[in-house]
Chains A and B, each alone.
Chain A
Amino acid sequence: MATAESASAIQRNQVDLLDFIDWSGVECLNQSSGHLLANALKQGYREDEGLNLESDADEQLLIYIPFTQVVKLHSIVVKGSEEEGPKTVKLFTNRQHMGFSNVNDFPPSDTVVLSPDNLKGKPVVVKYVKFQNVRSLTIFIEDNQSGSEITKVQKIALYGSTVETTDMKGLKKIEEH
């Protein structure tokens, strides 16, 4: 029952937050140099199954995504392979410059354990009440499905809505009148 509702909710008033990502501030720790975060996050790249975000020194990844405005996060999609795709994903809101050493010092806003269905593209609905006022999102991928040395993420998509309904571009047009 919940899944059917959430699926339609995504179509109803949740948008892909890709447009609101502040790319200048996006950071990813422990990514392998040939397989960067852009492969999983950016339009086009994320649809390509051959382009993945891969971890480097070990299986963990720490991704920091700031937004250009305050957003509400409703759900996320994390796609990956059955073995090397992520398993435990912790989400933190509005914390800057987290590192692997202090990631366990704060309670996450939500913890998600991805099932094989999720890895094929089924969205995971997050605890909406905790994500009402999101300026930045930190995604900590703690481990992967099979416990292998490298975690591979094919796609990360964020769905939600904006808090302010004012569209800045729209505002400019009004001024021109």
Chain B
Amino acid sequence: MICIDNSEWMRNGDYAPSRFQAQADAVNLICGAKTQSNPENTVGVLTMAGKGVRVLVTPTSDLGKILACMHGLEIGGEMNLAAGIQVAQLALKHRQNKKQQQRIIVFAGSPVTHDKKVLEMIGKKLKKNSVALDIVNFGEDDEGKKEKLEALLTAVNNNDTSHIVHVPAGPNALSDVLISTPIFTGDGEGGSGFAASAAAVAAVSMEEERARQEAAAKKAAEEASEQDVTMTERSSEGPSGADNKKNEIPDDDNTLLQQALAMSVDEPASTQDLQDTEISDAAAEDPELALALQLSVQDSTKDSSTEADMSKLLADQSFVSSILASLPGVDPNDPSVKEVLASMQNQSESQQKQDEDQAPEKKEGK
């Protein structure tokens, strides 16, 4: 999780071309390196100043999305280091893959207003929860800032998994200085051979990326809408509850959507949010319940919303017959099952009113 300092202090030009731009370049570089070094890595970004701490993107492996969110960032306000780190910790806590190691990379360009004690408490909490911290100390260098950040590092450091880098203003770009540090080389995770050569390649590609950033942003927007479309298709084939679920999720975070969909499709028993989801998924698992559901739909005793979902579900013949075939207790050749199937075929062709007409007939027939 990367914490960016977008405070007023970043307007200064002592790092070429401006502190903020140097920082942005460094962030882009790091994101690229992390996502390339291991496809399972995810990176998220938040800003610490401005109106308040704001998460721009939650941990994702989609580099285009990360780069896109760096666009149009405004400089202003004061950096809140403590809040930034705490929000980053929270964002990491909610990562999808719990097996991933947690790390926060913080760019501290402004003066640090918090007490050393406060920072030490934060560091201890990070260490307790197994979160590593990389600190990039640049920009303002006031009294005690270095000392405070060093204290923070000592509190959080566990077996040298956390690092601090002090980058003074000068001719070298912030990114260049960072390339040779453990922040970049990922303390031996990527292998030592990775360090110099691949980092240089990454730097060159970053130059190219900067020229292509707008194209990447456009593509990310396209991809997002594309993925939404494919998801709509997928969800209409699967249990109807998935549709309701998707509508409930307001944000456009694809990973969250995929997770929700995967949950409703693969693990029907785990969610309890929607009644519809519960019913349709429970039906998939319990053969008796499935039969009861079909019977009750014929009887049209349910309320209209559930009925609409049910008919949508049952309308998909192949889906339902495959469910029935896979249900352990149900024999497709069983006469009662065949009757139900036949009645369902009638249903899918006719309106609900006709269902009501057929229902009494079916009842008598039984």
Binding site for B on A (CB under 8 A): 29-30, 33, 56-58, 60, 96-97, 99-101
Contacts and interface: CB of A to CB of B under 8 A. Distances in A.
B130 to A, nearest CB: 6
Given A97-B98, A101-B93, A33 B127 contact: no
B146 interface: no
Contact of A57 (B93, B124, B159): B124
A30 B129 CA distance: 7
Given A56-B158, A99-B93, A101-B93, A30 B98 contact: no
Contacts of B129: 29-30, 99-101
A99 B155 CA distance: 19
Contact of B128 (A30, A33, A97): A30
Contacts of B130: 29-30
Contacts of A60: 128
B125 A33 contact: no
A101 B125 CA distance: 10
Contact of B127 (A57, A96, A97, A101): A57
A56 B159 contact: no
B98 A96 contact: yes
Nearest to B156: A57
Interface in B128-184: 128-130, 155, 158-159
B87 to A, nearest CB: 14
Interface of B: 93, 98, 124-125, 127-130, 155, 158-159
Contacts of A101: 93, 129
A33 B162 CA distance: 14
B128 A56 contact: yes
Contacts of A29: 128-130
A138 B128 CA distance: 16
B128 A58 contact: yes
A101 to B, nearest CB: 7
A33 to B, nearest CB: 5
A60 B98 CA distance: 21
Contacts of B127: 30, 56-57
Nearest to A61: B128
Nearest to B121: A57
Contacts of A56: 127-128, 158
A58 B158 contact: no
A99 to B, nearest CB: 6
B292 to A, nearest CB: 28
B123 to A, nearest CB: 8
A96 B130 CA distance: 16
Contacts of B125: 57
B128 A57 contact: yes
Contacts of A96: 98
A101 B129 CA distance: 9
Contacts of B155: 57
19 contacts: A29-B128, A29-B129, A29-B130, A30-B128, A30-B129, A33-B159, A56-B128, A56-B158, A57-B124, A57-B125, A57-B127, A58-B124, A58-B128, A60-B128, A97-B98, A99-B93, A100-B128, A100-B129, A101-B129
Nearest to B161: A33
B86 to A, nearest CB: 11
A83 to B, nearest CB: 22
Contacts of B158: 33, 56
Contacts of B124: 57-58
A100 B93 CA distance: 11
A156 B11 CA distance: 56
B106 to A, nearest CB: 19
